[in-house]
Structure 1
């Protein structure tokens, strides 16, 4: 049986490569709105972050997403991202990869 290629993406917070399934996509649409893309199919400019809650905390302090998306990101979005990543990581540890 032929082995399938695993798509890899670079984490914008740590600059490390991870499998796409182990990451969360953040999207900026044409209207300039930033949102989480849980399906991976939303239109717009996307960036990936790994399931590392500590990296999200550091990103909030350094306002890294503001630089990446070249627009102000509210603290509430960082909190939403942290909650989602923390939940997804806990789920992954419990049940393995989704």
Structure 2
């Protein structure tokens, strides 16, 4: 019997994808919002696609606010995009955003 692949939804575009295809954004215990490449950092998390568009949309439309249950400022967009670009590449899929 094949193993079930964990699925998560992007808070911005509302697309269901395999957990490994998305990036977890986590609200740390100290109140900072960062990317979680391992998916194991403690704190409340929300998932976004590996695209600038989804990150920007998640912050601007206050979807990260709802997912993390805290106010996330627009200044976080650049920080998250910078962190995303520093992450190792993944295998692209046909559902990735451009």
TM-score between both structures, scaled by the size of structure 2: 0.71
**Residue pair 2:59, 2:73 contacting (<8 A) in 1 also:** no
Q: In the superposition, relative to structure 1, how do residues 50 and 31 fare at CA in structure 2: closer, same or farther (>3 Å)?
A: same
**Residue pair 2:59, 2:65 contacting (<8 A) in 1 also:** no
RMSD of the alignment, in Å? 2.5
Q: In the superposition, relative to structure 1, how do residues 27 and 5 fare at CA in structure 2: closer, same or farther (>3 Å)?
A: same
After TM superposition, give the deviation of residue 87 of structure 1 in Å: 5.6
Gapped regions of structure 2 (runs ≥ 5): 93-98
Structure with more of its chain in helix, by fraction: 1
Gapped regions of structure 1 (runs ≥ 5): none
CA shift digits 1:12-41 (9 cap, x unpaired):
112221001101111123443322111111
